[in-house]
Amino acid sequence: MTILPKPWDGRFTETTHHLVESFTASVNFDQRLYQYDIMGSIAHARMLAQVGVLTTVECQQIIDGLTAIQQEITQGDFNWSVALEDVHMNIETRLTQTIGTIGKKLHTGRSRNDQIATDIRLYLRHEIDLINHELTQFLTHLATIAEREVETIMPGFTHLQSAQPITFGHHLLAWCEMLLRDKARLQDCRKRVNSLPLGAAALAGTSYPIDRHYTAQLLGFDTIAENSLDAVSDRDFAIEFTAVAAIIMMHLSRFSEELILWSSTQFNFVELSDAFCTGSSIMPQKKNPDVPELVRGKTGRVYGHLMSLLTLMKGQPLAYNKDNQEDKEPLFDTVDTLKNCLQIYADMILTLKVKPEAMRAAAYRGFTTATDLADYLVRKGITFRDAHQIVGQVVRYCIENNGELDKLSLEVLQRFSPQIEPDVYSTLTLEGSIAARNHIGGTAPVQVRAAIQRLRTQL
């Protein structure tokens, strides 16, 4: 068996125990960073040539070698070695095999500590842009459905009890507000991700005359990490991203809960496409909302990754520690989970079948226009607290007599307040209640249409 040399074995007298090799290796999961590792290495080589550490010829040889290695990996022809520990040493060793001793010059002026910090930031910056695109797609689809359902009446809930009538379009715009905040958080997080740690070397910087601004320019970083100790040991950006992801997943979980309830026989507000549901192995009538249920379940998975990263960092002294090898799998899985959930949700929501008759019937139940009656009495000169008391008595009368507010005769209504007049009935209709909320943020169809237009402008 060939024993591959370690990049650090000069001071060691024994070979690494085979269990230690497998235990400490990260190549099985960090190899997915290969394109960012190569991107960072090419920029580093160009910078070294710019400052005279490499010749122009040496730089080009390194770039050509790295480009060839990237093609090998992309085509599946690259042999990854656990003995070489990580993505960095696998690529660097292959580079030396390909172009000879010049390949050993690439690591001049850097460490794997600042190298991996750079790789992760390049990776996460790219993934944030993809996730931001998925959020935009989802929002666009929601806006399309909201526009279609701008006058579809449904009950609005508090405490999961029927509260006041709203439109389904208005409800969907509440989801949009959550996702817009998610986009803003994601974009703000990206600013802190996009800071270059390369040049910090192991922890103290390097004695070579490097030009970090040039490297940052080549790699598209907005800023440069100012302190070398912090640059190699900081994982705040990964924690912040995972926190943002956890909030997005929390929102998707809330959407899921509503879709699960609404698609049940008891609610029957919507129907999910067969393409996004599964059946039962024993009950032939079942149509299960597995996609929203799984999204709801995967939310806890992302919460766990956030706690994992927070716990990983909480006891670490400066600067870099091997603990930080454990940052990648939670981060990678968070990215994968979030992207998958957003993609499937955006596709699923476009196929949603809305059942306006069932929604309207539910909005009619539960005395949802009671607040409108109270507001009517206030406009007649009664204080709101007194109006609240009067309407509560009217509702109790309806419950005891199996009646509905808008079906009560004027004579009965006037028993509770002589200020009630025939014009009250326009107030007690579902349409009247919704139309009355005609202000920015309200559920009146004219306001919902205006909100959709503002949303489209933002997107």
Which residues have a catalytic role annotated? 159, 280
Q: How big is the CA angle at 194 (ends 192 and 195), to the nearest 5 degrees?
A: 80
- 8-state DSSP, 32: G
Residue 321 has φ and ψ, to the nearest 5°, of -135, 155
Residue pair 286/272 in contact (Cβ under 8 Å)? The answer is: no
Question: Helix, strand, coil: what percent of the chain each, to 5?
Answer: 65, 5, 30
Amino acid at 54: L
For tokens 């949700």, the residue is: 345
Residue 163 parent element (H or E) = strand 161-167
Instruction: Read off the DSSP letter of residue 226.
Output: S
- CA–CA distances in Å: residue 242 to residues 128, 170, 340, 445, 452: 11, 30, 15, 37, 29
Angle between helices 34-50 and 87-99 (to 10 degrees): 60
Cβ(293)–Cβ(264) under 8 Å?
Answer: no
Integer CA distances (angstroms), 274 to 70, 208, 279, 288, in order? 42, 62, 9, 9
Long-range contacts of 183-187 (CB under 8 A, 24+ apart): 183/132, 183/135, 183/136, 183/139, 185/244, 185/247, 186/128, 186/131, 186/132, 186/135, 186/244, 186/248, 187/132
Q: Where are the beta strands (DSSP E) in 168-216?
A: 195-196
Per-residue CA distances from 97 to 39, 70, 71, 104, 336 (Å): 19, 14, 16, 10, 34
Residue 87 contacts residue 34 (beta carbons within 8 Å): yes
367, burial (CB in 10 Å: exposed 0-12, middle 13-18, buried 19+):
buried
Cβ-contact 155, 360 below 8 angstroms:
no
